Amino acid sequence: MMEFKATIGGKPAHVGSDFAVLNPATGEEVGRAPNMGGAEVDAAVAIAKAAFASWSMLSDEALQAACAAVTAKIEEHAGELAEIITLEQGKPLNGLGSRWEVGGAVAWAGYTAGLSLPVKVLQDNEQGRVELARKPLGVVGSITPWNFPVMIAVWHILPALRTGNTVVVKPSPHTPLSTLRLVEIMNEVLPPGVVNVVTGDDRAFNLGAAMSAHPDIRKIVFTGSCATGQKVMQSAAETMKRLTLELGGNDAGIVLPDADPAKIAEGLFWGAFINNGQTCAAMKRLYVHEDIHDAVCDALVAYARNIPVGNGMEEASILGPVQNRMQFDKVERLVADARGRGKVLLGGEPGEGLFFPPTIIAGLRNGDALVDEEQFGPALPIIRYSDIEEAIRLANDSPNGLGGSVWSSDIATAKKVAGRLACGSVWINKHGAIQPNAPFGGVKASGFGVEFAEEGLAEYTDIQVVFS
């Protein structure tokens, strides 16, 4: 069992109690995290605010160098972080698992370190010079989910640092250990107080609610459910915080009649089942044209049958368990309802503990719970359609709008369909392939603001226009 300390002001923060973190594959305790409250939140914010005075005055080159040093430190500890992720989150070390996650975190950190927001000259003539500068906000509060605990923390923290802000990060109580270690590692090369972490089980005291209402936090960046995002937005209103909210998705994929079932089966599977379906931008529902519906189902099931599911610490495992009981129960409920409405092609019954096999169910339609609700787990509903206009209407018939995909042998036709989908990102013949040089965010109920690239970096700044 591992014991972890929170880091506030560059030092271990000691509190009177802690809470257990369990391995979802075995149910065993893998570590303990500090169970903090309002006093620790206030202390972390105060120290971050004090550190902002000097950190925000560093040159652009110094901030870039500091972020590059953080990137190198994360890479140095990649193996250690990957093992902690697997133990507390459940995803395998291999495949698109924890080693892949840490590799993605390093890539994002390195790319973000190289970005900059130089002063823009809006006017320079006989009437005067007008410049637009980007200024750091102050203390940024980061609230991260349990599905990608290290990579999403990096998505939140690095752009904040790169723009001269300081950070207080609060990870999910399901997966706090890897974030505690990540912040400890970052503090090996950062000045005290620039990045701080608070953890708690959220039972007696809700740390996230305290952060989103805190008067000295200037911005909240939150990744999680729509319901919690709405609460964050409401509690942030009184202090007029800046917000970046990457919320839930119910991404639709549309397979056009000219697609090749054998060629797209692998992409369809990983678009839906990456991280066991526990991904905001995973494909949550699939619309397939009636001409190739059965062939697509057969090819997808044939591919899925060969994916090893097991304890993530075993090198042969490619998918692991559902991360926590609450999410498992939701998947079980939705699949049980779908079994009575459609045809189970694969899986359909829960396994032992928190293991749920990859499940594919055809014969469903909009209005069925597994289609309408975000399952956030290893279950994919397949809906047959006959007309592309029908498919577009059904795909857009959701309050969410994070991502979508179109699968076709004709890229030009696929792009025309993609342009009509009401979502922030659309992929052709793949799904969920985000990258650090492309802005990412949702429309409708799926989010507020964007992450990544220069557009995401700018969200950590205020604009100041200088007239001379």
Q: Are 154 and 105 in contact (CB under 8 A)?
A: yes
Q: Are 70 and 111 in contact (CB under 8 A)?
A: no
Q: Are 439 and 246 in contact (CB under 8 A)?
A: no
> Torsions phi, psi of 467, nearest 5?
-105, 130
Which of 280, 374, 451, 459 does the annotation list as catalytic? 280
3-state secondary structure of 167: strand
Nearest to 199 by CA among 191, 211, 210, 207: 207
Nearest to 380 by CA among 340, 338, 351, 352: 338
E runs forming strands in 35-127: 120-125
Q: Specify whether 280 is catalytic.
A: yes
Between CA 396 and CA 91 the distance in angstroms is 31
E runs forming strands in 99-250: 120-125, 128-136, 139-143, 166-170, 195-197, 219-223, 242-246
Interstrand relation of 219-223 and 120-125 (parallel, antiparallel or unpaired): unpaired
Between CA 96 and CA 273 the distance in angstroms is 10
Between CA 295 and CA 317 the distance in angstroms is 28
Nearest to 318 by CA among 272, 280, 273, 359: 273
Q: Specify whether 352 is catalytic.
A: no
118 contact partners, CB below 8 Å, separation of at least 6: 60
Q: How many CB atoms lie within 10 A of CB 240?
A: 8
376 contact partners, CB below 8 Å, separation of at least 6: 248, 277, 278, 279, 327, 330, 331
Between CA 101 and CA 419 the distance in angstroms is 30
Between CA 306 and CA 301 the distance in angstroms is 9
Which of 83, 88, 184, 246 does the annotation list as catalytic? 246
Tokens representing 237 are 């209103």
Burial bucket for residue 454 (CB in 10 Å: 0-12, 13-18, 19+): exposed
136 contact partners, CB below 8 Å, separation of at least 6: 52, 56, 163, 164, 165, 460, 461, 462
Catalytic residues: 246, 280
